[in-house]
A and B are shown apart, each in its own frame.
Chain A
């Protein structure tokens, strides 16, 4: 199993700004952790199915029936920044 982690790339995906110190410390700690989890390579999983959920339920659905919504003011009151009835965010740079 691979055991290196590109901390800067992963932090970019996760949208967390890291200091150089954090890159160093987390890199070491997570490298160690990967060393430990690599023990899983010892298991023979060739013919094993993957478990995403332990419960065996299927088709747990809801009827297409309207339910009450939240009060807009109650929600917007907690917005970090609002403008009128909208949530406001800094400019979006297209990617």
Chain B
């Protein structure tokens, strides 16, 4: 990429809130379903119907704002955004214009190598989603060339959070890292499912470029139709390259909306004629203002969970866990919380991470039971790690124990005690097993002596087997080698 230019990127996200009901009526808020079955006079914009805001949706927005350190103003209100579109039932959207529920705040995010970054938020506000139009008659479901459209209003009125970032991102990779952190945070808060594939997270990006080091902003374009994080990254990089090429050739960037073409890997202009939008915002007269009480805000603040960015920072800087594992641990909030409980009663965080992300996650995958909900309590896992660290058991026994604990066997220390599984570290006892194995396999011993050193693994395995797995493997190795070379 051309080093003389830097990209200036802002991201605008729309997130469907995870409430039981829609924003302004009691229709169920759920993905999909038979078309036009989750509709009532309110969300269908019937004559005479009136909106009443969902208290839970407001709390979720405030919680999200608090999680990002935003200011929750003492006064907020809803406004109408007026424009005609067939899947918008009232032909206006109830949104928030100049007094959103949350102002400012910062999203902390990290790059693949673990570098922490921050991107400030402009605002977070609450609005209602539209229905869905399916464009038909053209064969490919796209709007261009279609001869009619079919409208389903199940999604109309679903509560939607709009979260706008400052233009502080500098690359497609940063934009994706920002989105990942935003997504993990909202998931941890229980604000949304944040599934791009189901449309509960949708995002647009504003992209401009400027000479590196310049403080002025260039003309921006708005990129739409990005359907995955990967397409966000590709679209931004493609748009950056396009703008650099135009400027390098003495051209001028046109402020416009551009759509991302996934197949051809380019953005294309979406608006043939530039009709300025005149949304005629005005205060929603069917609703009264919101004044979240300080007590309610503080109650929500106190209830905030540990956030993924906080976890990540602690794991990498305090616990010394690598960026990749730390990212995996914060990915699922319940897994991170489980890991925290393990670490609280163990002082080997790396081993805890290895178990949680390794054996336990494998068992979880195989059985379909989440780690945090499994029979292996955090305390028992810590106990197991303690047994390994103290060399009371070896890793093979540990694995076996873990599988039994998964099935409900309880305390590993108790099993070790009860079944005499403690590791054998007595050189005399192990030497006896070695003696026994070598004399039982004279031909193998001969092979070794003939130079086939790889047969030693077989002999070590036989000794371990003879000890019922309890022998200290390092000691077994050493004694077998000594004996063979004597």
Report if A and B touch in the complex (beta carbons < 8 A): yes
Q: Which residues of A are interface residues toward B (Cβ below 8 A)?
A: 13, 15, 52-53, 55, 57-70, 72, 75-76, 83-92, 94-95
Contact residues in B for A88 (Cβ distance below 8 Å):
148-151
The complex places the Cα of A76 from the Cα of B44 at a distance, in Å, of 11
Does B280 lie within 8 Å of A13, measured CB to CB? yes
User: How many positions in chain B have a CB within 8 Å of any CB in the partner chain?
Assistant: 56
> Closest A-chain residue to B296, C-beta based?
A59
Q: A67-B26, A88-B149 are in contact. Are A95 and B271 (CB under 8 A)?
A: yes
Q: A59-B291, A75-B44 are in contact. Are A92 and B135 (CB under 8 A)?
A: yes
> Closest B-chain residue to A63, C-beta based?
B55
Does A60 lie within 8 Å of B52, measured CB to CB? yes
Does B288 lie within 8 Å of A85, measured CB to CB? no
Does A65 lie within 8 Å of B151, measured CB to CB? no
The complex places the Cα of A58 from the Cα of B77 at a distance, in Å, of 10
Does B278 lie within 8 Å of A13, measured CB to CB? yes
The complex places the Cα of A77 from the Cα of B39 at a distance, in Å, of 14
Does A70 lie within 8 Å of B41, measured CB to CB? yes
Contact residues in B for A76 (Cβ distance below 8 Å):
36
Contact residues in A for B152 (Cβ distance below 8 Å):
85-86
Does A62 lie within 8 Å of B39, measured CB to CB? no
Which 4 pairs show the lowest CB-CB distances between chains A and B?
A67-B26, A64-B56, A86-B150, A61-B55
Q: A53-B285, A64-B57 are in contact. Are A89 and B39 (CB under 8 A)?
A: no
Given contact pairs A59-B291, A62-B26, enumerate 7 new A-B contacts (beta carbons under 8 Å).
A58-B288, A61-B53, A64-B56, A66-B26, A69-B27, A87-B86, A92-B146
Contact residues in B for A61 (Cβ distance below 8 Å):
52-55, 58
The complex places the Cα of A76 from the Cα of B150 at a distance, in Å, of 12
> Closest A-chain residue to B154, C-beta based?
A69
Does A91 lie within 8 Å of B146, measured CB to CB? yes
Q: Which of B35-79 contact A (CB under 8 A)?
A: 35-41, 44, 52-58, 77
Q: Which of B251-290 contact A (CB under 8 A)?
A: 270-271, 273, 275, 278, 280, 282-283, 285, 287-290
Does B54 lie within 8 Å of A64, measured CB to CB? yes
Contact residues in A for B37 (Cβ distance below 8 Å):
69, 72
> Closest B-chain residue to A67, C-beta based?
B26
Does B36 lie within 8 Å of A58, measured CB to CB? no
Contact residues in B for A55 (Cβ distance below 8 Å):
288
Does B148 lie within 8 Å of A65, measured CB to CB? no
Contact residues in B for A83 (Cβ distance below 8 Å):
150
The complex places the Cα of A70 from the Cα of B273 at a distance, in Å, of 40
Name A92's contact: one of B35, B55, B149, B271 (CB within 8 Å).
B149
Please tell me if B147 contacts chain A, counting CB pairs below 8 Å: yes
> Closest A-chain residue to B151, C-beta based?
A87
The complex places the Cα of A15 from the Cα of B28 at a distance, in Å, of 32
Q: A75-B36, A86-B35, A91-B148 are in contact. Are A66 and B52 (CB under 8 A)?
A: no
Contact residues in A for B86 (Cβ distance below 8 Å):
87, 89, 92
Choose among A57, A61, A75, A76 the residue with the greatest number of B CB atoms under 10 Å from its CB. Answer: A61
